[in-house]
Amino acid sequence: MSQQIQKTSKILITGGSSMIGRHLYDCLIRRGYETPYILDGRYLVDLTNQRETEELFAIVKPEYVFNLAGYNGNISFSQKYQADIFFKTSQIALNSLRYAYESGAEKCVNILSSCAIADLGDKKLKAEELWNGPPNKTIEAHGFAKRVWDAYSRQLYKQHGFNSVCAIVNNSYGEYDNTDIEKTKAVMGIIKRVVLAKRQNLPAIECWGTGQVFREFVYAGDVANALIDVMENYDNPLCPINVSTEDEISIYDLTYKIAKIVGYEGEIKWDTTKPDGQKRKSLDISNMREYVKSEFTPIDTGLAQTIKWYMEKYND
């Protein structure tokens, strides 16, 4: 469907100031793409606003769009602001895709969180099973809203032949991660807590849940390279593609791994009155390697890089 992407093609990144957005910009430059546009840097636009979104796409006229923008946070944030999360993320999806198509874009790649896939227990989650049940109840607003990207992409393709594909990405981490207490996710939340305890010589830290849930964590720089591979190689708007590592780790083991890297030797307590979230989110990537050629960073390496960045940036 799509033509060969040229290194001079006009590329727009929405959500460009996010962790993945900043890595994506860097990766595009390293791979020879010339000056992609970053929405949150060069352009300050409210993507929930139809008029502003329409004007943005009319001015930029991107040939290719990476849609990373959304409104979300951690489990606590998701349980406080369900309606806001669903409305804002859904509106961003509808506006961004509509005006990408109307402005003449060649292709969109939209990032979906693994939270969007149906919670099917312990089994590996296939991309084609996205709609086979509701998301986990702890993050259902975010999960359902993310599905809007897939739903609207399908309709745009069926009516207009528009090439808008979705990549379902597992839990990501890395430099530039959000450190806001309500919006930071598992890895950065634990890093922040452990580093603070180390610096303040605290005897113990407390983490949510039992720690006995399993996740696959993907370094953000690897996600960025994978998204570029998807843009270059994957052209099926009727089925998303999973992006993950298949390397699972429990939150319990992740926490102790981070503590070891930081050098924190205090006690780690688990507040079992707080929710764990989904028991397992392991993505089936059986077809990913046909389209994604990039390598993935081992978690020990990725964690060490992320912790080093955090400790240098937040050194008080």
DSSP structure string for 125-190: BPGGGTTSSPPPGGGHHHHHHHHHHHHHHHHHHHHH--EEEEEEE--EE-TT----TTT--HHHHH
pLDDT, average across residues 18-33:
94
Does domain 11-175+218-246+290-296 sit in CATH 3.10.450.50? no
Distance CA 89, CA 78 (A): 12
Q: What average pLDDT is seen over the chain?
A: 91
pLDDT bucket at 228, cuts 50 / 70 / 90:
very high
Burial 140-170 (b: 16+ CB within 10 A, else e): bbbbbbbbbbbebbeebbeeeebbbbbbbbb
Q: Among residues 111, 73, 121, which one has the least CA distance to residue 282?
A: 121
Cβ–Cβ < 8 Å for 260, 187: no
pLDDT over threshold 60, residue 299: yes
- Note the pLDDT tens digit of each residue in 98-131: 999 999 999 999 999 988 998 887 788 899 999 9
The structural domains of the chain, with segments of one domain joined by +, span 11-175+218-246+290-296
Given this model, what pLDDT does residue 316 score? 60
Model confidence over 251-292: pLDDT tens digits?
999 999 999 999 999 999 999 998 877 788 889 998 898 999
pLDDT confidence band for 42 (50 / 70 / 90): low
Residue pair 54/99 in contact by the 8 Å Cβ criterion: yes
pTM above 0.85, yes or no: yes
pLDDT digits (tens, 9 = 90+) for 58-105: 999 999 999 999 887 666 777 788 999 999 999 999 999 999 999 999
